[in-house]
Amino acid sequence: MSAVVPSPSSVVSETDNSARPVSRRSVWSDPIWELDIDVAGRRADQKRLRWGVALPDGSRLTDPQHAELLETARGFVWSMAVDPPDGRRRSCQSTMFTRARNLLTLIRWMTGEGFTTFRWLDLSAVERYQAFLKRRRGARPGMTSPTTVAGYLLVLKDLYRQRSKLPDALGFDPFPHTTAGLVAGVSRATRGAIPFIPDAVALDLMSKALHWVEHETDGILEQRDRFWSVFNTARSRGVTLHYCGKLGRDALRARQREPNAPMPAGRRIATKNDLDRCLKHLMDACFIVIAGFVGMRASEILSIRTSAIEHRQLGTTGVSQTYLVGRLFKTAEEGGRLERWLAPDPVVTAVKVLERLSEPLRVASGRNELFLTRNTQYGQVVGITNMHINDRIREFAAFNNVRRHGGQPWRFSTHQFRKTFARFIARRDRSQLLALADHLKHVSVAMTARGYVGTDFDLHQLVDHEGQIETATALDRFLTADRLAGKMGERIAAGNASFRGRAGEQVRRDYIKFVLKETDLTIHACEYGWCVFQAETSRCGGRLAPDPAGRSPAVCLDCANFVVEPKHAPYWRERRERNRAIISRASRLTHAALDEAIAQCDRVLSRLKGNHAEDHSGGPAQPHGTRLSRRARPSDRGQSDASRLRRAPGPHHSRRGR
């Protein structure tokens, strides 16, 4: 059955709304609206809208004395779904739930302040409510974030915008000539973007999750089957449940005394608790592998069902491509739609493990999802939720001693894997933006087709942000180095004295921020150096970025865009020694080529010798910590980004430093 779709002809102020359906299972007058929210990973309470909330005076909103306020609250939420303000999309039922939750917070505060209708609110009350929101305790220690406050204040703004459609509403604009976000203090600095997982932490976590999937599965499932085989056999003979459990545990301990007993993460599976923990972590490892290698959203991963792997032939080539089938919920109708994601071999293995792992729960419940668990309170088989999977990933990392970051355990969340996946792709080939948008299902099909030209703002911001971090990091290293190799590197090192040391720290930060704001300069890494990319001087032939097919050490050394710093010295030493080892047995022509390669290495290493740069450890610059005027020198207008960088350490920057 399809979800109830609101009709624009619905009238909020009808005299008898009691029988109006609001979802497949609820009507207007129900004290609880069972909403048609089918997004995987949602808890049951996140699909129920309870109108009978407790108010400060001890009453409930569904009590008779609050009938008018309740009717207005329902009407407001419904109006945003059937007839929103001009330029706004109709609220889906997930958004209805969020909007109603924010509205109920306002109603609880109103009644505590003595207001029984929205029209009685005044500007002073709005200011007090805003202060109340900022003082509220957030999900993390500290006050509520500006973004959260903005969501609550937006309800006030919408109550004014919808005033003609409601019997009771705000009679004045609470935030004239501005927005709820600006009033709440939302900005780029306060928005708090989800971080990507640091490279070292991500690599350690992914490698350990993959090890569980590929090497620990058989041992863990063997112990599971052993326990339940003994348990069920004893139970069929009329043995008590307690003694059945004891026999099963004895079987687990007996297996641990045998050679080659399974020991995931070096831990024995000798008790039922050990077994349950390992089964749980094995499922978590499968989630981590899928999230890290595919970049799907948590709801999309948790929607995976049996037979999720598909093989499709690519045209007439005879080659087949493997896909992972899940449901896309964002931008889709309620219940989502089937989509396919490219699936590498580790993901195929993870899905097969999930099918084996979830089989007993699927048989017991009749469900076909792969991410299932048994509710500890009632023993019911339920789907894993977003909230639980975050905690489970952190527990998996702790159990496996995953590398820490800054001396502290990294606080993993599911969306960090998606962002880290996108960053990995974007750092290596920014020209693949459209393919990345298509793979991530970041937007609807129509928007994806236009994603490369700027419609997919979220994805562009993600790629641009990570590209800027890499560019800022490289610039900071270049401007603090007194010796660099490569044509571009030699020019930079010859004139960057004003950027080095403590005296040049602020000048350097200002200049890096200037480059990031005023230019589209990008710096690309490879194992033997950096490319300060400029298409017109690129010897590899790249148009938007260095061309991997055309790049080589010899080509790059002759390129005006190339920079080598001390951390690349080991590569050039190894290249020199490798060529020296084979030159004695080379032909005359090969001998000449090897001589030239050795000479190139010598030139690079001689330029790098004696470098006393302040820090080669690779910590990123902090270009966002200062404000910099957007004014540029008139002579800079119309010049290429790389040209500006070559001229960067000029007198005008020195004056700023002084």
Which pLDDT does position 517 carry in this prediction? 67
Q: What is the DSSP letter of 403?
A: P
The answer on 157 and 97 residing in a single domain is: yes
The Cα 281–Cα 266 span in angstroms is 14
CA distances from 498 to 519, 523, 653, 657 (A): 21, 22, 8, 8
| 521 compared with 278, residue with greater pLDDT | 278
Residue 111 inside a domain? The answer is yes
Overall average pLDDT of the 392-415 stretch: 93
The answer on 436 and 408 residing in a single domain is: no
For residue 536, the one-letter residue type is: E
The percent of residues above 70 in pLDDT, for the chain, comes to: 79
The Cα 459–Cα 439 span in angstroms is 12
Which pLDDT does position 180 carry in this prediction? 86
The Cα 579–Cα 590 span in angstroms is 10
Q: Is the pLDDT of residue 397 over 60?
A: yes
| 274 compared with 520, residue with greater pLDDT | 274
Q: Burial of 226 by CB count in 10 Å (0-12 exposed, 13-18 middle, 19+ buried)?
A: middle
Secondary structure string (H, E, C) spanning 162-178? CHHHCCCCCCCCCCCCC
Q: Which long-range contacts (CB under 8 A, 24 or more apart) does 217-221 make?
A: 217/282, 217/353, 217/356, 217/357, 218/262, 219/261, 219/262, 219/263, 219/264, 219/269, 220/262, 220/264, 220/269, 220/275, 220/278, 220/279, 220/282, 221/356, 221/357
The string of DSSP letters for 456-467 reads -HHHHHHHHHHH
Which pLDDT does position 327 carry in this prediction? 87
Overall average pLDDT of the 431-437 stretch: 59
| Phi and psi angles of residue 529, each rounded to the nearest 5 degrees, phi first | 165, -165
Per-residue pLDDT band for 623 (boundaries 50, 70, 90) equals very low
The Cα 228–Cα 224 span in angstroms is 6
Which pLDDT does position 632 carry in this prediction? 36
Overall average pLDDT of the 442-450 stretch: 35
Per-residue pLDDT band for 260 (boundaries 50, 70, 90) equals confident
CA distances from 221 to 173, 278, 279, 607 (A): 62, 9, 8, 58
The string of DSSP letters for 490-527 reads HHHHHS-GGGSTTTTHHHHHHHHHHHHHH----EEEET
The answer on 559 and 510 residing in a single domain is: yes
E strand or H helix at 372: strand 372-374
CA distances from 135 to 99, 105, 108, 185 (A): 20, 14, 16, 14
The answer on 625 and 495 residing in a single domain is: yes
Asked whether the beta carbons of 576 and 503 are under 8 A apart, the reply is no
Asked whether the beta carbons of 622 and 630 are under 8 A apart, the reply is no
| 609 compared with 143, residue with greater pLDDT | 609
Say whether 70 sits in a helix, a strand or coil.
Answer: helix
| Phi and psi angles of residue 484, each rounded to the nearest 5 degrees, phi first | -135, 155
Per-residue pLDDT band for 637 (boundaries 50, 70, 90) equals very low
Q: Is the pLDDT of residue 138 over 70?
A: no
The answer on 491 and 428 residing in a single domain is: no
The answer on 159 and 42 residing in a single domain is: yes
Among 132, 155, 184, the domain boundary falls at 184
**CA angle 492–493–496, rounded 5-degree value:** 75
Which pLDDT does position 194 carry in this prediction? 74
Asked whether the beta carbons of 447 and 486 are under 8 A apart, the reply is no
Q: How many domains does the chain have?
A: 4
Overall average pLDDT of the 516-541 stretch: 80
Q: What is the pLDDT of residues 170-183, one digit of tens each?
A: 989 999 888 888 88
Which pLDDT does position 37 carry in this prediction? 83
The answer on 433 and 410 residing in a single domain is: no
C-beta atoms surrounding 280 within 10 Å: 17
Which pLDDT does position 129 carry in this prediction? 93
| 459 compared with 100, residue with greater pLDDT | 100
The answer on 631 and 496 residing in a single domain is: yes
Which pLDDT does position 613 carry in this prediction? 39
Rg (CA), the chain: 31
The Cα 495–Cα 324 span in angstroms is 53
Overall average pLDDT of the 42-54 stretch: 88
Which pLDDT does position 196 carry in this prediction? 81
Asked whether the beta carbons of 413 and 390 are under 8 A apart, the reply is yes
Secondary structure string (H, E, C) spanning 96-160? HHHHHHHHHHHHHHHHHCCCCCHHHCCHHHHHHHHHHHHHCECCCCCECCHHHHHHHHHHHHHHH
What is the overall mean pLDDT for the chain?
Answer: 80
Residue 21 inside a domain? The answer is no
Task: State which residues form the domain around 551.
Answer: 462-657
Asked whether the beta carbons of 607 and 490 are under 8 A apart, the reply is yes
Which pLDDT does position 532 carry in this prediction? 86
The answer on 468 and 450 residing in a single domain is: no
Residue 16 inside a domain? The answer is no
Residue 2 inside a domain? The answer is no
- Residues with Cβ < 8 Å from 318, sequence gap 6 or more? none
Which pLDDT does position 626 carry in this prediction? 31
Q: Is the pLDDT of residue 295 over 50?
A: yes
The answer on 579 and 491 residing in a single domain is: yes
The answer on 124 and 218 residing in a single domain is: no
Which pLDDT does position 147 carry in this prediction? 84
Residue 22 inside a domain? The answer is no
- Residues with Cβ < 8 Å from 73, sequence gap 6 or more? 51, 61, 100, 103, 104, 107
Asked whether the beta carbons of 495 and 481 are under 8 A apart, the reply is no
Among 133, 158, 184, the domain boundary falls at 184
The answer on 597 and 471 residing in a single domain is: yes
Q: Which residues of 390-406 are buried (b: 16+ CB within 10 A; e: fewer)?
A: bebbbebbebbebbeee
Residue 630 inside a domain? The answer is yes
The tokens of 225 are what?
């089957």
CA dihedral 281, 283, 285, 290 (to 10 degrees): -160
The Cα 622–Cα 511 span in angstroms is 11
E strand or H helix at 348: helix 345-365
Overall average pLDDT of the 350-363 stretch: 95
Q: Is the pLDDT of residue 198 over 80?
A: yes
Q: What is the pLDDT of residues 51-80, one digit of tens each?
A: 999 999 999 999 999 999 999 999 999 999
Per-residue pLDDT band for 122 (boundaries 50, 70, 90) equals very high
Asked whether the beta carbons of 175 and 167 are under 8 A apart, the reply is no
Among 184, 213, 244, the domain boundary falls at 184
Asked whether the beta carbons of 628 and 510 are under 8 A apart, the reply is yes
Q: Is the pLDDT of residue 629 over 60?
A: no
- Pick from 274, 253, 291: which is nearest to 399 by CA? 274
Overall average pLDDT of the 247-259 stretch: 92
Residue 15 inside a domain? The answer is no
Say whether 342 sits in a helix, a strand or coil.
Answer: strand
Overall average pLDDT of the 616-637 stretch: 36
Find the distance separating the first CA and the last CA of the chain, reported in whole Å: 72
Which pLDDT does position 333 carry in this prediction? 67
The Cα 225–Cα 208 span in angstroms is 24
| Phi and psi angles of residue 496, each rounded to the nearest 5 degrees, phi first | -105, 20
Which pLDDT does position 100 carry in this prediction? 92
Residue 8 inside a domain? The answer is no
Q: What is the pLDDT of residues 538-577, one digit of tens each?
A: 888 887 778 877 888 889 999 988 999 888 888 899 889 9
Helix axes 272-294, 217-236, angle to 10 degrees: 140
The Cα 536–Cα 6 span in angstroms is 56
CA distances from 655 to 152, 273, 504, 651 (A): 47, 68, 11, 6
